[in-house]
Amino acid sequence: MAGSLTGKVALVTGGSRSLGAAIVRRLAADGAAVALTYNASPDKADAVVHGVEAAGGKALALRADAADAVAVKAAVAKTAQTFGRLDILVNNAGVIVVKPVDDLSLEDFDRIVAVNVRGLFVATQEAVRHMREGGRVINIGSINSDYVPFAGGALYAMTKAAVAGLTKGLARDLGPRGITITNVQPGPIDTDMNPDSGQFAEQTRGYTALKRYAQADEIADFVAYLAGPGASYITGTGLVIDGGYGA
């Protein structure tokens, strides 16, 4: 696997399935050695690793709940120890809660913040300790930080808005070190959490200009570009890939 990321090492959180797995495969196809974290899907994580290795790449699966700061830090350290460096972090791990406001619990609030915001911050803080000039942090946010055309999505939108703000702030901290940080904001993607045949799929397709969901590989291609040499002057910004959802 020779490509634009040959010699680089990446860590993808939540990389065992759907979008995360697509990102792992694409970064590996571009030449990176890729570690991925998973929480409850060891078989799926192993399948992703075996697929990368069968294609001639290097991959490593690490169990780490994004809400567990100790486990997240250990995953970052193990990645750097195993592959000798860390150049790219993709903060993909996330959860979603969709409930009317009256039904939301503090446990819902605490869990979604712990994974979508706190876990992302912990992974980023730990990863940049290992990064050299040219390092990349790529957050997977959502257009729901700006648009919420359905009821029950307040907590999810809140966390993705926090990711957008954190990306901007950290760009100022990391810029002088030559490390970029970006926030990819996808629209509807055909994933386990939001299938294009789900309950709200027809309505959701209608919001896009292209009248379809994205495929995970399309988002992964965009992430790979941001991880590569052509994106070295992009930092501190949200990059929308939504099929015209916000047009």
Query: Could you give all domains of the chain from N- to C-terminal order, each with its CATH number?
Result: 9-241 (3.40.50.720)
CA angle 237, 240, 242 (to 5 degrees): 170
**Which two three-digit tokens encode residue 189?**
């993607």
DSSP secondary structure letter of residue 56? T
Question: Is-catalytic flag, 156?
Answer: yes
Digit-coded pLDDT (tens) for 69-81: 999 999 999 999 9
Q: Which of 156, 207, 213, 245 is catalytic?
A: 156
pTM to 2 decimal places: 0.96
Distances in Å between the alpha carbon of 12 and those of 21, 133, 209? Answer: 9, 19, 30
CA–CA gap between residue 23 and residue 34 (Å, rounded): 10
Distances in Å between the alpha carbon of 6 and those of 28, 82, 224? Answer: 9, 16, 12
Digit-coded pLDDT (tens) for 116-147: 999 999 999 999 999 999 999 999 999 999 98
Beta strands in 150-215 (DSSP E): 180-186
CA–CA gap between residue 134 and residue 93 (Å, rounded): 23
Segments in the chain below pLDDT 50: none
